[in-house]
């Protein structure tokens, strides 16, 4: 999905089990450049031109636990719907680090902040500040932008296309509730769901189960239902979704939005990142 979104840009995507080693290999192959120098170059050349093939910023997903990796900025994300789980570390719980590790972080983003009450968000923020009272805390949400047809990516549709329709949400993501609730707010007459475990690879038996659920919905409501999947699930295996024919499959595209709260906004978030890079003068 990232490769598709960043196609034609200077962004490089590295995928491997050992992400730190992959990042190191990219830096070795391409070299690196001060990101502030890139900003200066971009003022002098057209934006469509790639100034340098060298890497200016390396972003390591799930990198906090790699304690031997040198880093300039530590950003922690917290799922507002289930921030701490059972408070245990992997494999007994969902945490990759103990909560005390917030004292090593530079900023926190509370994701799916639009899905929980403000009182709950305040509790989460209070817990974080107990660990690091100087940390910057932001709130974010996935904002639906549009649909496209799984059978034809170039066919882009507005969000109102599912209004008054019977919809079956099929997903294999970490937070399916957020996905389903957003679809329900778009005016569908009925929303059903099939949730699979995160990163699940759809198999033939899954397609049979999905088609059986679709047939039941069709018989119950007297109209052909529409399948809606996430963009992440589409890119994991777009071909297998074609086996749901003759049912229409739509893919929901969302954008990450930093929500304004207590002076924290998308603009202040960008400034925080820029200050961090400016103070280090390195990757």
Instruction: Name 177's Cβ contacts closer than 8 Å, sequence gap at least 6.
Output: 81, 115
Q: What is the pLDDT of residues 68-79, one digit of tens each?
A: 888 889 999 999
State the average pLDDT for the chain.
Answer: 90
From the number of C-beta atoms within 10 Å of its C-beta (0-12, 13-18, 19+), residue 181 rates as middle
User: Range with the lowest mean pLDDT among 122-136, 185-199, 220-234, 266-280?
Assistant: 266-280
Compute the average pLDDT of residues 134-154: 95
SS3 content of the chain, % helix, strand, coil (to 5): 35, 25, 40
Q: For residue 272, what are the domain limits?
A: 2-142+258-280
Separation of alpha carbons 119 and 9, rounded Å: 41
Q: What pLDDT, on the 0 to 100 scale, is given for residue 227?
A: 98
Q: What pLDDT, on the 0 to 100 scale, is given for residue 118?
A: 96
Planar angle of CA 202, 140, 263, nearest 5 degrees: 175
Q: What pLDDT, on the 0 to 100 scale, is given for residue 69?
A: 86
Same-domain pairing of 126 and 148: no
Same-domain pairing of 37 and 98: yes
Q: What pLDDT, on the 0 to 100 scale, is given for residue 250?
A: 97
Q: What pLDDT, on the 0 to 100 scale, is given for residue 51?
A: 58
Same-domain pairing of 7 and 136: yes
Same-domain pairing of 237 and 274: no
Same-domain pairing of 183 and 275: no
Q: What pLDDT, on the 0 to 100 scale, is given for residue 47?
A: 54
Instruction: Name 156's Cβ contacts closer than 8 Å, sequence gap at least 6.
Output: 146, 147, 148
User: Range with the lowest mean pLDDT among 43-52, 75-84, 186-195, 255-264?
Assistant: 43-52
Report the predicted TM-score, pTM, of the whole model to 2 decimal places.
0.86
Per DSSP, the residues of 121-189 read: HHHHHHHHHHH-TT-EEEEEEEEEEEEEETTEEEEEE-GGGGTT-EEEEEE-SS-HHHHHHHHHTTT-S
User: CATH number for the domain including 226?
Assistant: 3.40.50
Report the run of H or E that residue 54 belongs to, with start and end: none
Same-domain pairing of 18 and 131: yes
Q: What pLDDT, on the 0 to 100 scale, is given for residue 43?
A: 55
Same-domain pairing of 276 and 187: no
Same-domain pairing of 197 and 106: no
In angstroms, the first-to-last Cα distance of the chain is 25
Q: What is the pLDDT of residues 185-202, one digit of tens each?
A: 999 999 999 999 998 999
Same-domain pairing of 111 and 199: no
Burial annotation 136-170 (CB, 10 A radius, 16+ → b, else e)? bbbbbbbeeeebbebeeeeeeeebeebeebbbbbb
Compute the average pLDDT of residues 147-162: 96
Report the run of H or E that residue 190 belongs to, with start and end: strand 190-195
For residue 283, name the pLDDT band (cuts at 50, 70, 90).
very low
Say how many domains are in the chain. Answer: 2
Q: What pLDDT, on the 0 to 100 scale, is given for residue 48?
A: 52
For residue 57, name the pLDDT band (cuts at 50, 70, 90).
confident
Count of CA atoms in the C-beta half-sphere (13 A) of 276: 17
Same-domain pairing of 15 and 107: yes
pLDDT at residue 272 is higher than 70:
yes
Same-domain pairing of 123 and 211: no
Same-domain pairing of 236 and 161: yes
């Amino acid at each position: 999905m990232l490769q598709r979104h960043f196609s034609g840009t200077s962004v490089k995507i590295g995928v491997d089990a050992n992400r730190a080693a992959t990042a190191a290999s990219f830096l070795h192959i391409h070299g690196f450049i001060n990101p502030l120098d890139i900003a200066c170059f971009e003022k002098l050349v057209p934006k469509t031109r790639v100034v340098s093939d060298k890497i200016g910023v390396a972003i390591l997903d799930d990198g906090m636990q790699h304690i031997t990796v040198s880093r300039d900025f530590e950003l922690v994300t917290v799922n507002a719907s289930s921030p701490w789980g059972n408070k245990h570390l992997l494999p007994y719980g969902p945490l990759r680090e103990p909560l005390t590790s917030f004292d090593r972080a530079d900023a926190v983003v509370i994701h799916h902040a639009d899905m929980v009450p403000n009182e709950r968000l305040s509790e989460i923020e209070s817990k974080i500040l107990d660990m690091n009272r100087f940390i910057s805390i932001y709130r974010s949400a996935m904002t639906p932008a549009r649909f496209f047809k799984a059978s034809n990516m170039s066919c882009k549709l507005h969000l109102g296309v599912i209004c008054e329709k019977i919809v079956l949400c099929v997903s294999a993501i970490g937070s399916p509730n957020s996905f389903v609730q957003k679809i329900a707010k778009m005016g569908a007459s009925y929303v059903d769901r099939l949730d699979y475990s995160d990163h699940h690879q759809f198999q033939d038996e899954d397609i049979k189960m999905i088609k059986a659920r679709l047939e039941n919905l069709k018989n119950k409501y007297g109209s052909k239902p529409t399948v809606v999947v996430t963009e992440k699930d589409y890119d994991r295996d777009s071909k297998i979704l074609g086996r749901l024919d003759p049912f229409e499959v739509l893919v929901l595209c969302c954008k990450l939005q930093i929500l304004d709260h207590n002076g924290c906004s998308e603009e202040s978030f960008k400034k925080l990142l820029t200050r961090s890079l400016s103070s280090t003068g390195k990757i």
